[in-house]
Structure 1
Amino acid sequence: MVEENAATEHGWLDVRCARIYWETTGNPDGVPVLYLHGGPGSSLRTGGYRRQHDPDLFWTIGLDQRGCGKSTPLVQDDLPGLALNTTATLIEDVEALRRHLGVEQWIVTGGSWGSTLALAYALEHPDRVLGIAVVAVTTTSREEVDWITEGVGSIFPEAWAAFAESARRLPGERVVEAYARRLAGADREDARAAALAWDQWESTHISLDPRWQPGPMFQDEQERLTFATLVTHYWANDGFLTDGREILPRIHELNGIPGHLIHGRRDISGPVITPWKIRQRWDTSRLTVIEDEGHGGPESAAALASAVGELGSTVRFRTAPK
């Protein structure tokens, strides 16, 4: 593992109704590696992803997805813009960045929600993808969302009862739909209360992770609101991956592209059944289960670095003229 590196170049890219923050690290003549952060809404934050790959061999590229981090406007400052904040639009943003940086093909990586976005991007633009390496693998299906927002309540019934009561559901609403409605609503005090209740539930259902630390996930209120608004927006809409865009039924389309699926056995919130099902249908993928970790961790990070190193040593890539 290399030492963490500061971004060597960064900027903002004008895309449809937003400005996307991007940064690069390492060798511009090396193998391009795209990192897609989790959430939705977590942002690049600490920049720890930069330490994953040898800066002499790889050119690591990250971006804050629209609505969060250093991208503008933040979701809570442009609530009407939520209608445009979809997986399809994020894929457009990634493609705009690829063209802006003059990358013809790249290795695509991501964790948690970032793994969903990585797989969705690859399915739309397989010719741009040299290989895929994802951690804490999700597809943001209805089944997965219902598990993390309701099913996990069978393990944490006390916390889930409080979480469900705090949702203030309307008749016929799922819990996640109630939170999404309130977080995108005109009453911003109510939105902040909903964000705090959402944060408390998130902190609970990850508490069996061996690396869990007590306390809220987000100390900063603005970050908490950004995260909760975007997560519930995407989860309430099944990741905007419906009507033939679901990942699992299409995953066989990635046959021929090498893939690495890395997942913690103790990930209660996102059980290993998801990457296992993907592996059954994606012939050129490999599943690595980290027995002592949950939703990511140092062993998962090391496995990701190893996977990218392996992909980088075997693929050929092209950069477009700048």
Structure 2
Amino acid sequence: MNTMAVIDTFATQWLETPDGQQIYLEQSGNPDGIPVIYCHGGPGGGSSPFHRQLFDPKLYHIIIFDQRGCGLSTPALQLESNSTAHLIADMEQIRQYLQIQSWVVAGGSWGSTLALAYGQAYPEHCLGFILRGIFLGRQQDIDWLYRAGGGASQVFPDYYQDFLQPVAQLSHLDILEAYQLQLHHRDDSVRLEAALAWSIWESRIATLLPNEFSCGGDMDAQSALALALIEHHYFQHHCFFEPDQLLNNIDKINHLPCQIVHGRYDIVCKAENAFSLASLWPGAELKWVVDAGHSASEVGIRSALVQASLAIAVQLQAGEQKAK
């Protein structure tokens, strides 16, 4: 399969939720194939046509949506009625609307978090999982990425200094508290400066080799605002999880097949996350990509994800044959 081949949608729409959100939903691939729903990252990152390319369109019925407040979903930048429980309910509404009995749940970074959380809420509707760049939503994972001394700041101290710049005058506050003030400032320019610094920090450290943002590339303002506002909202609320919630409840889904792809040099989501998850999942296959960081756009990660989706398809088809 050519992973760069364009895959067109066969249906796009906005699905209205009971509380009035309009969730962007698209379908591509084979309507009679294995259903797979893809959870994008962030939270607040939005989906991309690139995500369709991670699945063989002959094998999979590919379902992609934009989570609340970002991408093409409206209202944009919505923080009210935006929690992990809301996103899980949106996914379940999509499943029921499309009349799908069960599906593969896939996602990268925050998308892996949401995929696991959905699976633990509705294990009976999951066929298996394809997960990349594991983020478990624990306090240590948030500290690693955003707090001085956490980990990422030690690897990229120069980029971290730029991340601190918009809140330099608030150094007496915790970093998330300081960003709370700037991201919700009454001055639009202050909000945008903070959103750009937040989003560029994460983007700069997402790849093993320097990328456009580490080389001074510009970021779209609306994308930066969505990512920064929604990520900050979730991380201030500990992703709306109890401590260690995902690992503590892994027995609800660890009987299902799972393919895990993680870059060996992932600085956004540390390698321990994937290792800890796999250690509690006897049937999971963990693929370390030794020439990559965090981003799904890196060649090694993309290739491993395509192979992972093929492996899950083979496992499911073998299971069907055995059942017969």
Q: Could you state the TM-score of these two structures normalised by the residue count of structure 2?
A: 0.88
User: What pairs with 1:216-231 in structure 2 (closer than 5 Å)?
Assistant: 219-231=219-231
Say whether 1:34 aligns with 2:34: no
Alpha-carbon RMSD: 2.3
Say whether 1:104 aligns with 2:101: yes
Question: Which consecutive residues of structure 2, in runs of 5 or more, have no partner in the other structure?
Answer: none
Task: Describe the SS at the equivalent of 1:118.
Answer: helix
Distance 1:251 1:24 in 2: 29
CA displacement, residues 93-126 of structure 1 (integer Å, 9 cap, x when unaligned): 0111111111110011111111111111111111
| TM-superposed deviation, 1:281 | 1.1
Distance 1:42 1:112 in 2: 10
- Are 2:260 and 2:286, in contact at CA under 8 Å, matched by a contact in 1? yes
Count of matched residue positions in the alignment of Structure 1 and Structure 2: 310
Letter in 1 for 2:70: C
Post-superposition, which runs of at least 4 consecutive aligned residues in structure 1 deviate over 6 A? Answer: none
User: What pairs with 1:150-169 in structure 2 (closer than 5 Å)?
Assistant: 150=147, 151=150, 152-167=152-167
User: What pairs with 1:193-272 in structure 2 (closer than 5 Å)?
Assistant: 193-206=193-206, 209-210=208-209, 212-213=211-212, 214-215=214-215, 219-242=219-242, 246-272=245-271
Q: Could you state the TM-score of these two structures normalised by the residue count of structure 1?
A: 0.89
Say whether 1:125 aligns with 2:118: no
- Are 1:169 and 1:175, in contact at CA under 8 Å, matched by a contact in 2? no
Distance 2:267 2:210 in 1: 13
Distance 1:284 1:217 in 2: 41
Say whether 1:25 aligns with 2:28: yes
Distance 2:34 2:204 in 1: 39
| TM-superposed deviation, 1:128 | 0.7
CA displacement, residues 212-248 of structure 1 (integer Å, 9 cap, x when unaligned): 33346762211111111111111222211126x7212
Task: Describe the SS at the equivalent of 2:130.
Answer: strand
| TM-superposed deviation, 1:67 | 0.4
| Partner in structure 2 of residue 289 of structure 1 | 288
Question: Which consecutive residues of structure 1, in runs of 5 or more, have no partner in the other structure?
Answer: none
Task: Describe the SS at the equivalent of 1:107.
Answer: strand
Distance 1:13 1:288 in 2: 35
Please say which of residues 226-235 and 89-98 is displaced more in the overlay: 226-235
| Partner in structure 1 of residue 65 of structure 2 | 63
| Partner in structure 2 of residue 305 of structure 1 | 306
Letter in 2 for 1:183: L
Pair 114,125 (structure 1): closer, same or farther in 2 beyond 3 Å = same
| Partner in structure 2 of residue 114 of structure 1 | 111
Which residue among 8, 11, 24 is the counterpart of 1:9?
Answer: 11
CA displacement, residues 195-222 of structure 1 (integer Å, 9 cap, x when unaligned): 122134224433x612633346762211
Pair 54,184 (structure 1): closer, same or farther in 2 beyond 3 Å = same
